[in-house]
Amino acid sequence: MLKLSLVTGLLSLFGQLSEASYTTTSNHSENQSTNVAQDSSAFRPGQVWKDESGEVINAHGGGLLFRNKTYYWYGEVRGEKESKGVNVYSSKDLYKWKHEGLALATVSDSTSDIVRGCIIERPKVIYNKKTGKYVMWFHLELKGKGYEAARAAVAVSDKPTGPFVYQKSFRPNGHMSRDMALFVDKDGGAYHIYSARENYDLRIVRLKDDFLNPTTQDTLLFSNHREAPALFRKDDNYYLITSGCTGWAPNEASLHVSKSLFGPWEKLEDPMTGPKAKLTFGGQSTYVLPVQGKKDAFIFMADIWNPKNLKDSRYVWLPIQFKENKTIIEWKDKWDLSVFR
C-alpha cells in the first residue's frame, strides 16, 4: 500500500513537472506568460491584457475601426466550447479598453447560419459613408461541418457597438473563403481579401457600393498557401502581411508590396526581427491599424494562439517601422505611441 502511494506520488509529481515544462515551452514564452499588462499607457505584447473593468480582453483574430474619435476593437469571443460571437471594445487612446458587449451573438434558431455551434472567426468592421451603416464581415463555418463550409458572412448595424443584424453567408463568386480581411481605400472603395481553394489561393474582391456584396472584380493574388491577411496602405504602396497555413501553430510571416490592390505583388524580406522572429514571435497576423493623427504610423496586430485554451490566446501589438526602404517589425517587451512621429 505504502509502496503504491509512493509510486502514485512520484507519478503525479512527474506529471506536474512535465506540465510545468509544457507551460514554459508552449506558445507563451516565459516573459510573455505571467505578467499582466496593468500599465494603462504602454503596450506589453504577449502579456495578459485586461479591460477597464478588470476582465481579460476577449477579442481574438480581431480588427479595429476608428469612428467619432473612438477606436473600436472587434474580435472572436473565445473560451466557451462554442463560438459565442463577436465582442466589441472601445477606447480613446488604444491602451485602455471598455467592453461594449457582444456586437454579434450566435442564436438558438436552428435554421439560422449562426446557430450556436457554428464557428465565427476573424471579424472585421468597416463604415459605409454612403449608407451610414457599420458592416461586419467574418469567416463562418456552419454547425457540425468542421471547416468545410468556408464561407464569408455579413452583418450590419446602425451603431459601431451593435447589435449587428446578421444578413447572409456565401462563397464570394463561388470561391471558398476562410481567413479574411477587409480594406477601405482612400477613394472609399472596399475590398475583401480571403484564403480560397483550401487556403492555397489568396484572393481579393472589390465590394459593391453597399459593402454588403462582392462584385465580380475578383482576382487571385498568389497561390502559395497563405492565410491571416492584414493589408494596409502607405503613400502609394499597398502592403500585405500573411502567415503560412499551420493551424494554431505559429510560422514565418511574409510581406508583399504592390502599387495596385490587384497586383502584381512583390515579396519582400520577412519584416519580423527579434526573439522568435522566424515564427512571427509565436503569433499569427490579424490586422494592421493606421494610428490616427500620426504620419506613417501603423500597428501590426497578431494573435499568439493557445489551442488548449483559446481564451488565453495573447495579443501582440508592435509598431511598424520604415527604415531606408525596409519595413521592420521588431519585438518589444513594452512600448508606447511616442515611437511614432
Residue nearer to ligand GAL on the CB measure, 37 or 272: 272
DSSP codes, 202-267: EEEEEEPTTSSSEEEEEEEEE-S--EEEEEEEETTEEEEEEE-S-TTS----EEEEESSTTS--EE
Taking CB under 6 A as the rule, does residue 228 contact ligand GAL? yes
Q: Could you give the CA distance from residue 256 to residue 251 in angstroms, rounded to a whole number?
A: 16
> Edge to edge, what strands does the sheet with 180-184 contain?
180-184, 190-196, 201-207, 214-222
Residue of 95, 99, 139, 88 whose CA lies nearest to 118: 139
Residue of 100, 113, 179, 218 that binds ligand GAL (CB under 6 A): 179
CB of 284 to ligand GAL, least distance (A): 6
Residue of 51, 100, 113, 121 that binds ligand GAL (CB under 6 A): 121
CB of 176 to ligand GAL, least distance (A): 13
CB of 60 to ligand GAL, least distance (A): 9
**Cell numbers linked to 45:** 505584447
Residue nearer to ligand GAL on the CB measure, 94 or 230: 230
Residue of 45, 46, 61, 229 that binds ligand GAL (CB under 6 A): 61
DSSP structure class, residue 163: P
The distance between the two most distant Cα atoms of the chain, rounded to a whole number of Å, is 78
Question: Residue 67 corresponds to which amino acid?
Answer: R
CB of 97 to ligand GAL, least distance (A): 22
CB of 309 to ligand GAL, least distance (A): 14
Tracing cell 506613417 back to the chain, one arrives at 296
Burial class (CB in 10 A: 0-12, 13-18, 19+), 30: exposed
Binding mask 238-267 for ligand GAL (x = CB under 6 A): -------x-xx-------------------
Query: Is there a contact between 281 and 270 (Cβ–Cβ < 8 Å)?
Result: no
Taking CB under 6 A as the rule, does residue 113 contact ligand GAL? no
DSSP structure class, residue 18: H
**Cell numbers linked to 310:** 483559446
Taking CB under 6 A as the rule, does residue 218 contact ligand GAL? no
For residue 68, how many C-alpha atoms fall within 13 Å in the half-sphere facing its CB? 8
Residue nearer to ligand GAL on the CB measure, 165 or 249: 249
Binding mask 284-323 for ligand GAL (x = CB under 6 A): x---------------------------------------
Query: Is there a contact between 230 and 287 (Cβ–Cβ < 8 Å)?
Result: yes
Residue nearer to ligand GAL on the CB measure, 122 or 203: 122
Question: What distances in angstroms separate CA 63 from CA 3, 160, 315, one per listed residue?
Answer: 57, 13, 12
CB of 243 to ligand GAL, least distance (A): 7
CB of 82 to ligand GAL, least distance (A): 14
| Strand, helix or coil for residue 53 | coil
Residue of 44, 122, 226, 314 that binds ligand GAL (CB under 6 A): 122
List contacts with ligand GAL (CB under 6 A).
Answer: 61, 121-122, 179, 227-228, 245, 247-248, 284
